[in-house]
Amino acid sequence: MNNCKYIFVTGGVTSSLGKGIVAASLAKLLQARGFNVTIQKLDPYINIDPGTLNPYEHGECYVTDDGAETDLDLGHYERFLGTPTSQANNVTTGRIYQNVINKERKGDYLGKTVQVVPHITDEIKRNIQLLGKTGNYDIVITEIGGTVGDIESLPFIEAVRQLSWDLGNDCISVHLTLVPYLSASGELKTKPTQHSVKTLLEYGVQPDILVCRTEHTLPKDLKEKIARFCNVDLEAVVEAIDATTIYEVPILMKSEYLDKVVLKKLNLPTKNEPDLEEWNKFLYGLKNPNKKVKIGLIGKYVELKDAYKSISEALIHASSSVLTEVEVVWIHSEQLNENNIAEHLKNLNGVIVAPGFGTRGIDGKLIAIKYVRENNIPFLGICLGMQCAVIEFARNVLKWEDANSIEMNGSTKHPVISIMKDQKNIENYGGTMRLGSYPCEIKEGSLAQKIYSNTQINERHRHRYELNNDFIEKFNKKGLVNSGMYAKENLVEIIELPKHPWFVGVQFHPEYKSNVANPHPLFISFIQAAAKV
């Protein structure tokens, strides 16, 4: 294929309509027809990336293989497509401005006045086309964050307008809107969609396809009305009815022929019908479990479930593959204490202690880990969760009462989680944290080896602190095994307690690599262990 084709996805009426899921579902259908597709997210906020954002603001920060800290929608893209994303798949206003200002300081603009149009819009256009120009993709889908009409997304919409002109038939624009149902009058209303499209038209963008979020089926006459008022073909008014799971959305989009309409408008051959055999098998597994487990997820952001998006999705992927329904019991770590811990955990089949930063909620996590360790409840500690498991072991088994991470207490005599001196100057990955994919060597005969069926793995990281090797021997003597190492820097990546039925802590984030096509072995094994409790 000569030219890469571009699909721009904008959203109207309200936020949280699920642009990311619709974009990922469309990409899935196109991929299942044999096209190479990737998805990119443009975020209108001024932070350079979401790495500095409190999870309460935007949910989880998703990390790619190349160590980019990105929007959680990239997690959906990877989970649906099963292909890795990178820094180029997530660009913010902050990064665009940073690039332009850097160029200005270097004198690249040769004395010109630097302006939003054309300099910022040119930089946006360059970033939109970066992935397309790699030659790896037939189609790039670009999701524009925010809602049409927002002040901050204006330069992005303007870039879409200009690119639509530059690219001609090689691009289309898909607009996601809401068709609300007014229960008092028992009617679906098209006016918000009409207004949203009018706003887009004011900016010079004519959508080719409208995807309409709705709680009720859109009758044909309503689709006709939307088509007439918004200058789109009737077949290009696509219903997106509420689904029971996000993984159903590709199937719903297929039944509305979204992929076919897109290909027709891009002048691309439809190729084969989408091959969704694996996908349907996954959905079948999800809907036909033969057992059920209750998994406690302990964190300090549990009021906002998006803060742990990849973990809850990884549980869903694994649950389908072992036909086990997983009920997640969200537990706020700040609410746990010695007196209520049994009440909270005794009916659970397994417990995950989530990643995190800072001191808040740590005590509850330590109390929970002591309980599951002593009561043989399967435990998975992820990143901070693993570090807490080490601290708990040091305090309660080795009896070092002041054991801590130097993140929480810089002057403890037992800094069991620390920053390695020799690690500081070795590899600079841009941020100050250890980010992205690193290889890990697994010990022969360990539970980890059994789980992965491998001794060489790669997993993604996002942390500053590490298990302090000065204490390893003493841990080993008391039965805590370091079963996975980053050999190059001698850093502990996995710990386990062989005497416990299933107790694993990982310094990395396995949840980032779980997807529909490849549920993660750690989550599968954890659920299987939980099902035995």
Which residues of this chain interact with ligand GLN, rule CB under 6 A? 355-357, 383-384, 387, 407, 462-465
Q: Do residues 252 and 240 touch, judged by C-beta distance below 8 A?
A: yes
Nearer to ligand GLN, 52 or 454 (CB): 52
| Distance between CA atoms of residues 487 and 29, nearest Å | 40
Nearer to ligand GLN, 12 or 355 (CB): 355
In the bound complex, what is the minimum distance in angstroms from residue 507's beta carbon to ligand GLN?
A: 8
Known catalytic residue at 383: yes
User: In this structure, which amino acid lies at residue 470?
Assistant: D
Q: Among the options 383, 407, 461, 466, which is catalytic?
A: 383
Nearer to ligand GLN, 188 or 406 (CB): 406
CA atoms within 13 A on the CB side of 461: 24
| Distance between CA atoms of residues 279 and 247, nearest Å | 8
Q: Give me the count of residues in the chain.
A: 533
Q: Among the options 76, 414, 500, 509, which is catalytic?
A: 509
In the bound complex, what is the minimum distance in angstroms from residue 61's beta carbon to ligand GLN?
A: 9
| Distance between CA atoms of residues 299 and 310, nearest Å | 14
Known catalytic residue at 511: yes
In the bound complex, what is the minimum distance in angstroms from residue 305's beta carbon to ligand GLN?
A: 17
| Distance between CA atoms of residues 203 and 208, nearest Å | 15
Q: Minimal CA–CA distance to 250: which of 478, 27, 521?
A: 27
| Distance between CA atoms of residues 82 and 97, nearest Å | 31
In the bound complex, what is the minimum distance in angstroms from residue 382's beta carbon to ligand GLN?
A: 7
Known catalytic residue at 440: no
Phi, psi for 297 (deg, rounded to 5)? -115, 110
Q: Among the options 78, 256, 493, 511, which is catalytic?
A: 511
Nearer to ligand GLN, 95 or 463 (CB): 463
In the bound complex, what is the minimum distance in angstroms from residue 477's beta carbon to ligand GLN?
A: 25
Q: Do residues 428 and 496 touch, judged by C-beta distance below 8 A?
A: no
H/E stretch holding 321 reads helix 309-321
| Distance between CA atoms of residues 473 and 288, nearest Å | 46
In the bound complex, what is the minimum distance in angstroms from residue 425's beta carbon to ligand GLN?
A: 18
Q: Which residues of 103-140 are buried (b: 16+ CB within 10 A; e: fewer)?
A: eeeeeeeeeeeeeeeebbbebbbebbbebbeeeebbbb
Nearer to ligand GLN, 407 or 493 (CB): 407
In the bound complex, what is the minimum distance in angstroms from residue 510's beta carbon to ligand GLN?
A: 12
| Distance between CA atoms of residues 398 and 395, nearest Å | 6
Nearer to ligand GLN, 91 or 390 (CB): 390
Nearer to ligand GLN, 88 or 433 (CB): 433
* DSSP character string of 15-31: S-S-HHHHHHHHHHHHH
Catalytic residue numbers, as ranges: 383, 509, 511
